[in-house]
Structure 1
Amino acid sequence: MARIFVAVDLPEEFRDEVRGIQSRFSGLKLKLVDPELVHVTMKFIGEVKDPMVSEVAEALGEVECKPFDAFIGGVGVFPNPKAPRVVWLGAEGNFEVLHDEVESCLSKFRFKKDRKKFTAHATLARIKFMPSGQREEFLELLDELSDIEIGNMVVDRISLKKSTLTPQGPIYETLHEVMLK
């Protein structure tokens, strides 16, 4: 079995910016995502049998979405600031079109659809519990970082990735890349 997902990787030159933003949260009770692993998820698929991985990779080759310019910036949270669970970096561009194309090309597999409306973002940290004494500092930081600009990038490919969960955090392996056309 393989735990897989489809993603858009952030450019290498954004890693230091991501690290810098994450360092601003250092005193708070968050589980930070390794900056090398921060990406925009197009579709989380989950556990599939190994032979299906190549079928999924082949189906992704049918994605019809032209490369597009994207802007990465602005920090926010899901589901809301009063009960934050995920701290994210915003992603603006043609991500919704790309997401819909990925969903369409993978529809024959009948993978579970996302329950929530797709919102392009890159997860920076997860929050299981935030002590009430940290909430005010956290909300101030969110406000300060709400319009931070990381930069522009060209989205010209998607990656099929395998995620192996370990006690030290996930390990991602790119199994297949599809160039947008």
Structure 2
Amino acid sequence: MCLIRTFVAVDLPDEMREKIKDIQSKLEPFDLRLVGPELVHITLKFLGDMPEEKVSAISEALDSIECEPFEANIAGLGVFPKPSYAKVVWIGAEGNFVKLHDEVESSLKSFRFKKDRRGFTAHSTIARVKNIPKADKEDFLRILDELKDVEIGKMYVDRVKFKKSTLTPEGPIYETLHEAKLG
């Protein structure tokens, strides 16, 4: 049995990639692992490792999502879990993502994937923090504060993508296995 690492996501439009790159350039002085701008997305549900044979059944389940397409605003910079102990740097996403997330959860219920331990927050990870030494913390927090209200742009969410993630030393490679249209 071949296991593949998978997730369900909304891709950001290509025209947002330059803006993401600009924001990431402001974070370059710090010890972070930046996410390639072309890979930045909004994860609705991480499925983890699963048998490849389930791809068509999951694709079919995702086609049953009942959520109308919606307008979303991609804006604001933040960190998880908190600024004094940042592990992930993200860009916020506002729109009907909670309903969409709940619909994804509901459509996949019969597969018994793990429920998210933390509540769902729509976001796009743009960097993972390796280490911020005490000497750099003040500068890091200042840049986060300067970018907290950054505007990336508006987008129309009309599909979700079921993706495979192959981890490599150079970073992940994503492949879309299925695209489910909303509405």
Structure 2 length normalisation: TM-score?
0.98
Q: Which residue of 1 aligns with 2:178?
A: 176
Count matched residues.
Answer: 181
Q: Which residue of 2 aligns with 1:100?
A: 102
Please give the alpha-carbon distance, in whole angstroms, between the structure 2 residues aligned to 1:166 and 1:91: 28
Q: Which residue of 1 aligns with 2:87?
A: 85
Please give the alpha-carbon distance, in whole angstroms, between the structure 2 residues aligned to 1:141 and 1:66: 36
Instruction: Give SS of 2:31's match.
Output: coil
How many angstroms does 1:55 deviate by? Answer: 1.1
How many angstroms does 1:128 deviate by? Answer: 2.8
Deviations 1:67-94 (A, max 9, x none): 0000001000000001000000000000
Instruction: Give SS of 1:45's match.
Output: strand
Q: Which residue of 2 aligns with 1:9?
A: 11
Q: Which residue of 2 aligns with 1:130?
A: 132
Q: Tell me the C-alpha RMSD between the 2 structures.
A: 0.5
Q: Which amino acid aligns with 1:15?
A: R
Please give the alpha-carbon distance, in whole angstroms, between the structure 2 residues aligned to 1:9 and 1:125: 16
Instruction: Give SS of 1:20's match.
Output: helix
Q: Which amino acid aligns with 1:168?
A: E
**Runs of 5+ consecutive residues of structure 1 not aligned to the other structure:** none
**Runs of 5+ consecutive residues of structure 2 not aligned to the other structure:** none
Q: Which residue of 2 aligns with 1:33?
A: 35
Picking from 147, 151, 154, the partner of 2:153 is 151
How many angstroms does 1:160 deviate by? Answer: 0.3
How many angstroms does 1:38 deviate by? Answer: 0.1
Deviations 1:5-36 (A, max 9, x none): 00000000000000000000111000000000
Deviations 1:94-134 (A, max 9, x none): 00000000000000000000000000000000013221111
Q: Which has the higher strand share?
A: 2
Q: State which drifts further: 149-158 or 124-133.
A: 124-133
Deviations 1:125-159 (A, max 9, x none): 00132211111111000000000101110000000
How many angstroms does 1:53 deviate by? Answer: 1.4
Please give the alpha-carbon distance, in whole angstroms, between the structure 1 residues aligned to 2:47 and 2:135: 37
Instruction: Give SS of 1:116's match.
Output: coil
- Structure-to-structure mapping, 1:60-79, within 5 angstroms: 60-79=62-81
Q: What is the identity percentage for the equivalent residue pairs of Structure 1 and Structure 2?
A: 59
